[in-house]
Structure 1
Amino acid sequence: MKSLIFDLDGTLINSLLDIALSMNKVLEKHGYASHEIDKYNHFVGDGALVLVKNAMPKDATENEIKVALKSFIEIYEQNTHNNTFAYEGIYEMLEKLERLKIKKAILSNKPHKFTLKYMENLFNNFHFQEIHGQKVDVPKKPDPTMAIEIATKLNTKIEDMIFVGDTATDMKTAKNAGMIAVGVEWGFRTVEELLENGADFIVKTPQDIIEILNKLK
């Protein structure tokens, strides 16, 4: 039986506005120019440090980036996250997976404590066997280490693992791990990016993930 690993931001939840507003507050606090919200589509996906580096001026020093990262973590943690929500159809898809008794996990480059917070706030009614955000002692995606570890914990063969995400980082993680790569159209990046980085399937709606499971039985 197949098992699923989901990315979080841009895949299950739309968190872009809260991330962008928090980072723009950091930039304004430290005297830098802020960005249009849409710009953050290309800043996110590789963890908080890369987000900050992408948003900061190109000539920012390591110390300035370090200070800005600390500010971002503080501001993002204080944010009420009223603008973050599960994409349409996600809850229905998860309900079907639970009825089918499909094992599922989360693997995100979002800091682990924020990953846990969102899972508790938005997905408390669902059972995920494994939940992992970015941790200091674990390589982040696209390194396949944690994806492979999740497969082991789910007692699922690598070739039976389906990795669902919305960025090149997610597709590369799937390919690096030897898993089936599924790219979602509703996320932060383009279909072209997903295909160029190894997507085996592209889905237009969460329901399409169920259809892929049926095809791969």
Structure 2
Amino acid sequence: MFDIQAVLFDLDGTLVDTVHDIAGSMNSLLREMGEERFDTDDYRRWIGGGSGAMVARISEMLGIEEPVESFLERYMQRYGQNLTTLSRPFAGAEDILDTCRELDLPISVLSNKDQWMVDIICRELFPDVAFRHTIGLSSAFPKKPDPTSARHIARDLVVNPRHCLFVGDTPVDIRTAQAAGMTSAGVTWGYGHALDIDEAGPDVCFRRMNILDHFIRDHCSSARRRISA
């Protein structure tokens, strides 16, 4: 029996559809460099590994002679100017966050995106949402799937990790939840492949946002306390 007392969300591909800004930023840079550009679906497959891995892949595929670190820096500058130009919450994401607020469930964001980018996206796309934590990539914590940041959130909330639901769209998120001792929830509307997510062995998996919403309602401790009262 699941007993949810807090929810952690990945950002890209879970709460927010960011692929169009990522693709647009990289393609505009490649256009200036006179290089081949890629389809949005290509970027959708590459997002899960983080910006560094994506840039390294593109650099190798195109045989770009510029050092990867320099290429990455130029891409990050371009993307940093377009974080919320086209990016929007997935349909139903705001409903789930409203459900968590209604149930008094603390909610946090845990992403491998750079910290300053996470801060901007959460502030601009979810201005009315009181996230307890918005943790991105920084020197404070190792990147996922290292469980340190997830465990920090649970400890700060004074919630046993086994009562935390970690929701994400890639195997990296599933492995993070497993390593942290949390309930892992895979979702298939994002950028991970459904087969890869299934093979990662999540505790639960959702193909529609509204089903995740129902799951949270059905397994939230505060909701059961209200019913019993």
| Structure 1 residue aligned with 2:209 | 206
1:51-62 alignment runs, 5 A limit: 51-58=54-61, 60=64
- Distance, in Å, in 1 between the alignment partners of 2:57 and 2:104 is 40
Q: Which residue of 2 aligns with 1:11?
A: 14
- Name the structure 2 match of 1:104: 107
Whole-angstrom distance in 2 between the partners of 1:44 and 1:97 = 27
What letter matches 1:145 in structure 2?
T
Segment of structure 1 superposing worse, 140-149 or 205-214: 205-214
How many residues align? The count is 216
Q: Kindly indicate whether residue 27 of structure 2 is the aligned counterpart of residue 32 of structure 1.
A: no
Query: Is structure 2 residue 143 aligned with structure 1 residue 126?
Result: no
Deviations 1:46-70 (A, max 9, x none): 3221121122224556x62111111
Unmatched segments (≥5 aa) in structure 2:
222-229
Compute the TM-score of the two structures, normalised by the length of structure 2: 0.88
Larger displacement relative to structure 2 (104-113 or 133-142)? 133-142
Q: Which of these residues, 138, 151, 157, is aligned with residue 154 of structure 2?
A: 151
Q: Take 1:29 and 1:134, find their aligned partners in 2: how far apart are those partners?
A: 28
Instruction: From the CA coordinates, give the structure whose radius of gyration is larger.
Output: 2
The 8 Å contact of residues 46 and 141 in structure 1, kept in 2 or not, is answered as no
Counterpart residue type for residue 166 of structure 1: D
Q: Is the 8 A contact 1:43 1:51 kept in 2?
A: yes
What residue number does 1:178 align with? 181
**Which of 82, 86, 96 is 1:83 aligned to?**
86
Listed one character per residue, the Cα deviations across residues 169-211 of structure 1 (whole Å, up to 9, x for unaligned) are: 1111111111111011211122211111121111122232232
Please, which moves more after superposition, 32-41 or 2-11?
Answer: 32-41
Could you tell me how far apart the structure 1 residues matched to 2:29 and 2:71 are? 6
- Asked whether the equivalents of residues 32 and 57 of structure 1 are also in contact (C-alpha less than 8 Å), the reply is no
Percent of residue pairs bearing the same amino acid type: 30
Q: Secondary structure at the match of 2:110?
A: strand
Whether contact under 8 Å (2:48, 2:192) holds in the other structure is: no
Deviates more, 1:183-192 or 1:166-175: 183-192
Q: CA deviation at 1:105?
A: 0.4
Q: What SS does the aligned partner of 1:164 have?
A: strand
Q: Give the SS at the match of 2:67.
A: helix
Query: Would the alpha carbon gap of residues 80 and 188 (structure 1) be closer, same or farther in structure 2, given more than 3 Å must change?
Result: closer
- CA–CA separation in structure 1 for the residues paired with 2:97 and 2:74: 34
- What's the TM-score, normalizing by structure 1? 0.92
Match of 2:50 in 1: 47
Q: More helix by proportion, 1 or 2?
A: 2
Query: Which runs of 5 or more residues in structure 1 are unaligned?
Result: none
Superposed displacement of residue 26, structure 1: 2.5
- Map Cα deviations across residues 2-57 of structure 1 (whole Å, 9 max, x no partner): 21100001000000011011112222333432211101122112322112112222
Secondary structure of 1:66 counterpart: helix
* RMSD, aligned α-carbons: 1.7
Q: Tell me what 1:70 maps to.
A: 73
CA 55–152 in structure 1, closer or farther in 2 if over 3 Å, else same: same
Kindly indicate whether the alpha-carbon contact (under 8 Å) linking 1:4 and 1:164 is maintained by their aligned counterparts in 2: yes
For the residues of structure 2 that align with 1:80 and 1:167, how far apart are their CA atoms?
21
